[in-house]
């Protein structure tokens, strides 16, 4: 008897019509209930659902029907043409929205002033009740349809209460009131859709930067093709001023490339043969031939877009609390309306309670702010993977730092040249660089690089010998040169100047010429220049404890930590760094770990927030970290902490505003002070308030 192995497929489907967190829950619940669906995540900003399913038990038509049954839609296709039409309609849509807003303000002004002066009833009584009933049925049809669908599925939605309020107004003969309530309900729906669209803007701005075509080289001829037809290994031609359409390696040409779309850095970089380039960056000067390595969604830019779209899956704790409160809020409002009717015997007051309740504002208070920050940060080269990590950054009080590739570039540089016995420093450096010409050691590359930067002449050795663990020996045309440690050159042992350099954490290589000590060259993996200021800023932001974790020896670690005024632990293996993170977490601290995302990836994953430094093009770093800094710039570290803390302040303001506003509205409605007409107008305002407050995060400096 054979054992059946379940199949598993992961698909993405577009979903249209969602404009708040309640919509997301309804779509997610509808899809999750289908037999064969193993997991589903629905994203408001990306307007899509990611579904893991068994294709033998459920298919796309079944999912489409389930989504339609709860009032939303899955388009038949997501063609490029349809997307282009949607983009081209944006200007027209903004004009329509502006006109609609003016109409809304005019109607609201007439209703409010009319109600206040007692003229509203005098005006509305001149029109027969069938007119108002027609307005209610026609204008409220989309709302009533969704309410009926939800009721048949035993669900209560925000519109359920408002629909009951409209029905109550009709039952007591308030025809005009019911019509105006319906109109303002639709305005509220528009406000929610507008709010959701605004939150999607950051993601769409990113998506719009992706090139759609590429110029490929086939049999010596150039041909322009859609980006989906480009494959790894193909040669892509990039002209001056064009976007680079793929990730790849430059095989020919030279250009100045603006990489702001990836790194957020406005200063362009020069690239030539052998350099890596990224999709959506711009070749400002010069042309390139690029061998493709990644295309479309597999490029660094494509992964950034995907991670920003799916960031809302990592919800902050405060967002989960708001979602649970939102789910409990509707029954509470229904109970208040019932008590209002039982105590005051006034159906209009009960209707006003139902109408003024704005549950969506609770659901929107957190995600709109989170998504605005995540999108704005992505444009600056800060990739934050979700609100969960924004909240953790806001609460963090411990910072653990890897050394190589993080505090330092990971590339040793010459810091000192000490010449003895009549040699000039440049002469000594030129001899050392000539001797090290064929060495592959990082310190040899540092010596050669320093010689190049000084414009020194480097000779070609006649013979070369590497002495493992000691150094090198090279015969130049006119002399013998040795470069190494005291095991290779015992006569150098006890040199006072060199010992002082070693005490600073530098590595000293001694140089002998014709068996006579000629001097020494000191090198170090130097501290990034912006680090000290960044550390001071982080302390000012409330990071109380900062510690350096390194696999280097204690002497090097102590010197570097002393320069920064931080604690340190040396001689650590990757598993030791994980243990340090767990140690702080066990003591109740929220831990940020910063590394290069490669050998310290496990520690980044263990931390409350793992930050990968310089993650552009590094697949492991982007996937392992919770926050990826797309360029090697330590000033971004305090930036991301400030962004998180500002975002959480906005979230708290949104929640406080929503609670206070709804409490006042419900109280006034229950006391009969706020009639249904004004209640309907009032219920649409919190969404606009949350939008306005959260939009400040789109303009973070």
Distance separating alpha carbons of residues 302 and 295, to the nearest angstrom: 8
- The whole-chain average pLDDT of the chain stands at 79
600 is catalytic: no
CA–CA separation, 155 and 232 (whole Å):
49
Range from 67-71, 189-193, 280-284, 614-618 carrying the lowest mean pLDDT: 614-618
Mean pLDDT of 338-345: 88
For the chain, helix (H) and strand (E) counts, in that order, are 26, 23
What whole-number percentage of the chain has pLDDT above 70? 79
Q: Does residue 87 register a pLDDT over 50? A: no
pLDDT for 27: 85
Decide if 551 contacts 573 (C-beta within 8 A): yes
DSSP 524-584: E-PPPTTHHHHHHHHHHTT--EEEEE-SS-HHHHHHHHHHHT-EEE-S--HHHHHHHHHHH
State whether residue 55 is helix, strand or coil: coil
Torsion of CA 399, 622, 289, 206, to 10 degrees: -100
Predicted TM-score (pTM) of the model is: 0.70
Q: Are strands 398-402 and 545-549 parallel, antiparallel or unpaired?
A: parallel
Separation between Cα atoms, residue 328 and residue 319, nearest integer Å = 14
Cα–Cα distance measured from residue 682 to residue 355, given in angstroms and rounded to the nearest whole number: 9
What value does the mean pLDDT take over residues 22-51? 81
- Residue 130: C-alpha distances to residues 107, 136, 139, 186 (Å): 21, 10, 14, 20
Residue 257 CB neighbours (<10 A): 23
Distance CA 626, CA 388 (A): 9
Return d(Cα 155, Cα 374) in angstroms, integer: 32
Q: Dihedral of CA 50/31/354/329: which sign? A: negative
Q: Which helix (H) or strand (E) holds 491?
A: none
pLDDT over threshold 90, residue 557: no
Q: Is the dihedral of CA 137, 142, 143, 149 positive or negative?
A: positive
Answer for the pair 330, 160: CB distance below 8 angstroms, yes or no: yes
How confident is the model over 147-187, as pLDDT tens digits? 887 777 777 676 777 777 788 778 777 777 777 777 767 76
Average pLDDT on 102-116 reads 50
Rounded Cα distance, 97 and 191, in Å: 10
Query: What is the tens place of the pLDDT at every residue in 629-663?
Result: 888 889 899 999 999 999 999 989 988 888 888 88
Query: Where in 209-320 does DSSP place strands (E)?
Result: 213-218, 221-226, 235-238, 247-258, 269-271, 276-277, 282-294
Which range is least confidently modeled, 80-84, 316-320, 373-377?
80-84
Residue bearing the bigger pLDDT, 630 or 588: 588
74-82: average pLDDT: 54
Q: Which of 189, 323, 402, 639 is catalytic?
A: 402
Residue 342 DSSP SS3:
helix
Q: What is the pLDDT of residue 172?
A: 73
Q: Please state whether 469 falls in left (phi above 0), alpha (psi between -120 and 50) or beta.
A: left
Domains of the chain plus CATH, in order, are 9-78 (3.30.70.100), 92-205+309-369+646-699 (no CATH), 231-294 (2.70.150.10), 394-409+528-644 (3.40.50.1000), 413-524 (3.40.1110.10)
Residue 591 has pLDDT above 50, yes or no: yes
**Looking at the DSSP assignment, which residues form a beta bridge with residue 465?**
473
């Amino acid at each position: 008897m054979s054992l059946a192995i379940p199949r598993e497929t992961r698909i993405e489907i577009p979903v249209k019509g969602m404009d708040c967190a309640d919509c997301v829950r309804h779509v997610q619940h509808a899809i999750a209930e289908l037999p064969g669906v193993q997991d589903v995540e629905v994203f408001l900003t990306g307007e899509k659902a990611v579904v893991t399913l068994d294709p033998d038990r459920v298919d796309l038509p079944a999912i489409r029907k389930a989504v339609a049954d709860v009032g939303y839609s899955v388009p038949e296709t997501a063609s490029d043409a349809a997307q282009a039409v949607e983009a081209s309609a944006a200007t027209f849509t903004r004009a329509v929205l502006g006109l609609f807003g003016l109409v809304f303000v005019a109607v609201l002004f007439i209703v409010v002033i009319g109600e206040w002066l007692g003229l509203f009833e005098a005006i509305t009584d001149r029109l027969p009740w069938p007119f108002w009933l027609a307005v209610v049925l026609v204008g409220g049809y989309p709302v009533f349809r969704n309410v009926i669908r939800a009721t048949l599925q035993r669900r209560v939605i925000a519109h359920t209460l408002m629909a009951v309020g409209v029905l109550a107004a009709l039952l007591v003969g308030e025809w005009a009131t019911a019509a105006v309530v319906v109109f303002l309900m639709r305005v509220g729906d528009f406000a929610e859709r507008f709010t959701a669209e605004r939150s999607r803007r950051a993601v769409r701005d990113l998506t719009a930067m992706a090139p759609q075509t590429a110029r490929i080289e086939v049999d010596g001829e150039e041909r322009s093709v859609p980006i989906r037809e480009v494959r790894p290994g193909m040669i892509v031609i990039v002209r001056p001023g064009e976007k680079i359409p793929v990730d790849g390696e430059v095989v020919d040409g030279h250009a100045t490339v603006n990489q702001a779309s990836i790194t957020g850095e406005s200063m362009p970089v020069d690239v030539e043969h052998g350099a890596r380039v990224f999709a959506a960056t711009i070749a400002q000067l010069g042309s390139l031939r690029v061998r493709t390595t990644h295309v479309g969604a597999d490029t660094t830019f494509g992964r950034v877009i995907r991670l920003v779209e799916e960031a809302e899956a990592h919800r902050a704790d405060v967002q989960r609390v708001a979602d649970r409160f939102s789910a409990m809020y509707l029954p509470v409002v229904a109970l208040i309306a019932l008590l209002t009717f039982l105590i005051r015997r006034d159906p209009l007051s009960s209707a006003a309670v139902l109408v003024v309740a704005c549950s969506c504002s609770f659901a929107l208070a957190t995600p709109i702010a989170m998504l605005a920050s995540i999108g704005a940060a992505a444009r600056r080269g800060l990739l934050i993977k979700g609100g969960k990590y924004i909240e953790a950054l806001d609460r963090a009080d411990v910072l653990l730092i890897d050394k190589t590739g993080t505090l330092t570039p990971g590339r040793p540089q010459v810091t000192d040249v000490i010449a003895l016995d009549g040699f000039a420093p440049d002469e000594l450096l030129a001899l050392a660089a000539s001797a090290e010409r064929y060495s592959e050691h990082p310190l040899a590359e540092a010596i050669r690089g320093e010689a190049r930067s000084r414009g020194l002449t480097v000779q070609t050795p006649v013979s070369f010998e590497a002495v493992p663990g000691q150094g090198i020996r090279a015969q130049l045309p006119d002399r013998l040169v040795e470069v190494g440690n005291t095991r290779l050159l015992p006569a150098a042992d006890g040199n006072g100047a060199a010992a002082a350099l070693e005490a600073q954490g530098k590595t000293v290589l001694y140089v002998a010429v014709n068996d006579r000590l000629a001097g020494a060259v000191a090198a170090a993996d130097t501290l990034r220049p912006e680090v000290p200021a960044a550390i001071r800023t982080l302390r000012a932001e409330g990071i109380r404890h900062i510690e350096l974790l390194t696999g280097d020896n204690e002497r090097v670690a102590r010197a570097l930590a002393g320069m920064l005024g931080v604690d340190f632990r040396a001689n650590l293996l990757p598993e030791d760094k994980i243990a340090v993170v767990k140690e702080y977490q066990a003591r109740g601290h929220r831990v940020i770990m910063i590394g290069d995302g490669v050998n310290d990836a496990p520690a980044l994953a263990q931390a409350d927030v793992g930050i990968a430094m310089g993650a552009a093009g590094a697949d492991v770093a982007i996937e392992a970290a919770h926050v990826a800094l797309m360029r090697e710039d330590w000033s971004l570290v305090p930036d991301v902490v400030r962004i998180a803390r500002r975002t959480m302040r906005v979230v708290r303001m949104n929640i406080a505003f929503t609670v206070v506003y709804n409490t006042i509205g419900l109280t006034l409605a229950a006391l009969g002070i706020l009639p249904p007409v004004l209640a309907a107008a009032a219920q649409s305002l919190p969404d606009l308030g949350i939008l306005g407050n959260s939009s400040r995060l789109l303009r973070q400096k």
